[in-house]
Structure 1
Amino acid sequence: MTRHTTALLKSWPVAPRDALPLALWDAASIAAATGGAASHAFQASGIEMDSRDVRPGDVFVALKGESMDGHRFIEQAFAQGAVAAIVDRPIDFPHVLVEDTTRALHTLAHAARERSAAVRIGITGSVGKTGMKEAIFACLDRASRGAAHRSVRSYNNHVGVPLSLARMPARARFGVFEMGMNHAGEIAPLSDHVRPHVALITTIAPAHIENLGSMEAIADEKAQIFTGLMPGGTAIIPADSEWAGRLTDHAEALGHRIVTFGRSAHADVRLLDAIPSANGGSLVTAELCHPDWGGAGEGGARLCFSVAEPGEHWIANALGVMAAVRAAGGDLGAAGLALAEMGGLKGRGARLRIEVPGGKALLIDESYNANPASMRATLRALGQTPAHRRVAVLGSMKELGDFAEGFHAQLAEPLAEAKIDHAILVGDEMRALADQLGKGAANSLGFACGFEHCAGPAEAIAALEAYGLTHGDAVLVKGSNSIGLGALVSHFTRGPA
């Protein structure tokens, strides 16, 4: 090593985060956070609550529910590589003994939050939570060179959110957390766990309206994410939503900074132009002009960037992503590069090429979730997708209650607008759409969609095979997860044996 190299190493800047531990947790820190007692010394690289998902180096949290006790799966967790477990009774493996494992997970989550200087972003909304969470993470992870953290899968409930927090490394610079709900009163406790610096609402739509009762109630519940915002935090609101004023009222009452995004002329992150790009996405020009940021020529910015994800809804999503990145202090240039490289997630927009007679067809996997707003958005995107024929396999939308029949029947219009050649409708609730399509040959747009109604995924698989996909076809598969259309996606993407 040369004298010059040695001098450079000695002058390498040392940041406070360099003194933080590299291991996610060790026995002493878990015991201190939870008030428990550690049986052995250990270091852990992960936290897991499902014994089937344990990886070598994980700590297994033996949670107890109404019908399940994680202590029954201790041996399985250690067989898969767990280094220790958090338990409420002594076991013959390394462990931290606590009074209540659920409470221990919560206190561990809060300890992870407090030990890290990470900027935390919370996301909720009726549509697009997971996709936007992944996009914001990709943007911040690129800018921070791997120092961003996010909740995985759809870990967005009373167990998933604290688990995701507990997994946040001490050295993380950003943390992105999704928050979901089925009933009133669920968002506020999740936001209180995360205590975000930035809180983003994607959109308001009639998801879970069966339990909430009205769109006003849905908007009010989503706005509860603002109750956990840190002092001086930023509330990000979709300007184009008819509920934007109601959301803004909630944020203003709590004294938060407000940033809006959308096509509206008064949006702080405003769409100026969007044109289709060659890869099926969009080339977007936007202006960031929040009063705190200045205008485009006074500290604000005018951005031009590509969005790889197809569909008009992803243009709006990208504006919200940029608003969150800007509010979190991220790099907008790195964000633009990340959005240009984003790919769809399994069950949430993944675009898969499948072998069919004569070549390949496109299968768009949206099988994880569905509500009226997301159905319309993805059908519109299918209609804009170049294809020989367009086929929609649509599963029932759940948790719509007394509104279910009307919302399902109303899908006849977007099917016609997208010029879908054939629809395979799956589930009891889809009978209303089948009846609507069966009332006449062509609708007011002069386009008739062929269709058939199936009871479940097995019938839908048979129906799609009988229809006979050929080269150049495009197939959208979308429905609520409980319908099980993931099985149809697996069947057609399995490939030759």
Structure 2
Amino acid sequence: MTALWTSAEAADATGGQATQDWDAQGVSIDTRTIAQGDLFVALKDVRDGHEFVAQALEKGAAAALVTHRPDDVDEDAPLLIVPDVLDALWALGRAARARTGAKIAAITGSVGKTSTKEMLRAVLEKQGKCHAAEASYNNHWGVPLTLARMPSDTDYAVIEIGMSNPGEITPLSQMTRPHVAMVTTVAAAHLASFDSLAGIAVEKACIMDGLEPGGIAVLNSDIETSQILQDHAVKCRVKQILFGETAADWAVKDVRITGDVTVINASRGSEDYLFKLSVPGRHFAMNAVGVLAVAEALGADPVAASLDIAGWAPPAGRGAREVIVTDAAKDGESLELLDDAFNANPTSLIASLEVLAASSPTDNVGRIIKGRRIAILGDMLELGDAEEAMHRGMAVNADLQKLDLIHCAGPLMRHLWEALPEEQRGYWVQTAAELVPQAPRLVDAGDVVLVKGSKGSKVSLVVDAIRKLGHRRSQQQ
């Protein structure tokens, strides 16, 4: 097996000193998931990674990237000693990028980065050797780690780039040096760190700063800040490809949500595309058309991509839809769960409510007889000074008004709960954990249940509690 990194290559990339020769097959920052033959990177976070070097080596790590030999590590241990571990990880990322001939796409956006990255991975891996970020590794350590893990013979790479403060995207884009940069959307997220939506758009546009010569920007034409993105593309002197309902390039003509499927009709010039996603959601449909635009821009076959994209399903916490069988002995004794508990802002909540409102509960099962559309909502965080008004304002959303029952958790969601009509109000609690013991009373067989909130609201606890009411099977089976 060809090594991902030899000690000589890693030392040359980082300017570090290897204590002995070694070959690494992967790169890891976490001893809980480290694999045999990985290079362990001893980053400092809540705890200093140097505390775990001995454990990593015991688990079979090929070597450890460190600033010094920890006291509990043997003197002859395989190490790569550098002045700063994070700087060295960045250097490994840059070196991995420099040695590959892969076509690289970088994706950012306030909503849908990870889902879009996974869609693009799903279609590109059918057309070549594809490398993509794990989970949502999109920050100052996630991007260089993803690059450092990239094999040199990769055909396509998909790099997710995120931000929470101004000035974060440009250096990550410049390290990635993408051939294609995509912005999914710009929405009210991280407003606590920005003065306005326009400020977020300016930062998102910076994903174009690292584009290779001849690079292409794939941009959403429908959002109110699209012109900011387009102006930045002009400034960077890169080609633009627009997607969306108002786009001249990849035009979305029709989106139909039918049960568990989204059917999309789009066009690219004189070519028409009719394809489907195996999951409901207008927001997924828009990003899917963007994925076809990126695939084409990378030199892949967009027709094949439009066929293969039906095999994609959202990961847990990001809109995954599953059936919870509450009584296997009774036909139909089940409920549908929409797990969207990883992230939330007004734009993504509106999209999820549209999916829930279009769903079909099942009557004549369970205790309550009538199937219901139920939302269990946790706080949307990092929205800035207008956060209370944004929560309260969701009460007038047309799709939310179609729901039967809404449970809320968190001090911000109390503002929405108080604005609801009495017949829609379920429980309100200070923390999501308080809903966990109430799970049997929150939902019933026949219901379709959306659980959504920012990760910090911990509504994923409620997802787990609902799953424990029965056993689950994926809607994509």
So what's the TM-score if we normalise by structure 1?
0.88
Query: 1:114 is matched with which residue: 92, 95, 98?
Result: 98
Instruction: Show CA shifts across 1:53-84 (max 9, x none).
Output: 2111211011234x532111111212322111
**Residue in 1 aligned with 2:475?**
none
Q: Does the CA contact (< 8 Å) of 2:357 and 2:399 recur in 1?
A: no
Moved more, 279-288 or 68-77: 279-288
Query: 1:338 is matched with which residue: 308, 318, 331?
Result: 308
Measured on the aligned residues, the alpha-carbon RMSD in Å equals 1.7
Instruction: Show CA shifts across 1:441-467 (max 9, x none).
Output: 5xxxxxx52322111222222333223
Query: 2:320 is matched with which residue: 337, 344, 350?
Result: 350
Pair 1:466–1:415, CA change in 2 (3 A) = farther
**Residue in 1 aligned with 2:65?**
86
Residues 1:379 and 2:349 are matched in the alignment = no
**Structure 2: 5+ residue runs without aligned partners?**
362-370, 472-477
In structure 2, C-alpha distance between the alignment counterparts of 1:418 and 1:44, rounded to whole Å: 55
Residues 1:73 and 2:52 are matched in the alignment = yes
**Residue in 1 aligned with 2:474?**
none
| 1:143 alignment partner, SS class | coil
Pair 1:432–1:98, CA change in 2 (3 A) = same
Q: How does 1:89-238 map to 2 (within 5 A)?
A: 89-90=68-69, 91-92=73-74, 93-144=77-128, 147-238=129-220
Query: 1:312 is matched with which residue: 268, 272, 282?
Result: 282
Query: 1:288 is matched with which residue: 268, 275, 289?
Result: 268
Residues 1:239 and 2:209 are matched in the alignment = no
Q: Does the CA contact (< 8 Å) of 1:380 and 1:414 recur in 2?
A: no
Q: How far has the Cα of 1:418 moved from its partner?
A: 5.5
Instruction: Show CA shifts across 1:274-329 (max 9, x none).
Output: 3345x62222221113xxxxxx2xxxx32222122211111111111111111111
Letter of the 1:344 counterpart: P
In structure 2, C-alpha distance between the alignment counterparts of 1:231 and 1:409, rounded to whole Å: 46
**Residue in 1 aligned with 2:383?**
400
| 1:249 alignment partner, SS class | helix
Percent identical pairs in the alignment equals 40
Q: Does the CA contact (< 8 Å) of 1:384 and 1:418 recur in 2?
A: no
Q: Does the CA contact (< 8 Å) of 1:349 and 1:365 recur in 2?
A: yes
Question: Would you say how many aligned residue pairs link Structure 1 and Structure 2?
Answer: 453
| 1:52 alignment partner, SS class | coil
| 1:177 alignment partner, SS class | strand
Q: How far has the Cα of 1:333 moved from its partner?
A: 3.0
Instruction: Show CA shifts across 1:116-146 (max 9, x none).
Output: 00111111111000000100111111111xx
Q: Does the CA contact (< 8 Å) of 2:326 and 2:469 recur in 1?
A: no
Pair 1:36–1:468, CA change in 2 (3 A) = closer
**Residue in 2 aligned with 1:27?**
7
Q: Does the CA contact (< 8 Å) of 1:415 and 1:449 recur in 2?
A: no
| 1:428 alignment partner, SS class | coil
| 2:163 alignment partner, SS class | coil
In structure 1, C-alpha distance between the alignment counterparts of 2:275 and 2:24, rounded to whole Å: 40
**Residue in 1 aligned with 2:366?**
none
**Residue in 1 aligned with 2:27?**
47
Residues 1:38 and 2:18 are matched in the alignment = yes
Q: How far has the Cα of 1:356 moved from its partner?
A: 2.2
| 1:200 alignment partner, SS class | strand
In structure 2, C-alpha distance between the alignment counterparts of 1:257 and 1:138, rounded to whole Å: 25
In structure 2, C-alpha distance between the alignment counterparts of 1:38 and 1:113, rounded to whole Å: 22
In structure 2, C-alpha distance between the alignment counterparts of 1:494 and 1:163, rounded to whole Å: 35
Q: Does the CA contact (< 8 Å) of 1:427 and 1:455 recur in 2?
A: yes
Q: How far has the Cα of 1:350 moved from its partner?
A: 1.2
Query: 2:415 is matched with which residue: 429, 432, 441?
Result: 432
**Residue in 2 aligned with 1:449?**
424
In structure 1, C-alpha distance between the alignment counterparts of 2:390 and 2:302, rounded to whole Å: 38
Q: How far has the Cα of 1:468 moved from its partner?
A: 4.2
Q: How does 1:273-284 map to 2 (within 5 A)?
A: 273-277=254-258, 280-284=260-264
Instruction: Show CA shifts across 1:408-427 (max 9, x none).
Output: 01111236555111111011
In structure 1, C-alpha distance between the alignment counterparts of 2:229 and 2:442, rounded to whole Å: 46
Pair 1:304–1:161, CA change in 2 (3 A) = same
Pair 1:401–1:95, CA change in 2 (3 A) = same
So what's the TM-score if we normalise by structure 2?
0.91
Pair 1:88–1:261, CA change in 2 (3 A) = same
Pair 1:415–1:427, CA change in 2 (3 A) = farther
In structure 2, C-alpha distance between the alignment counterparts of 1:274 and 1:346, rounded to whole Å: 24
Residues 1:271 and 2:252 are matched in the alignment = yes
In structure 1, C-alpha distance between the alignment counterparts of 2:325 and 2:227, rounded to whole Å: 48
In structure 2, C-alpha distance between the alignment counterparts of 1:391 and 1:356, rounded to whole Å: 17
| 2:412 alignment partner, SS class | helix
Q: How far has the Cα of 1:52 moved from its partner?
A: 1.9
**Residue in 2 aligned with 1:362?**
336
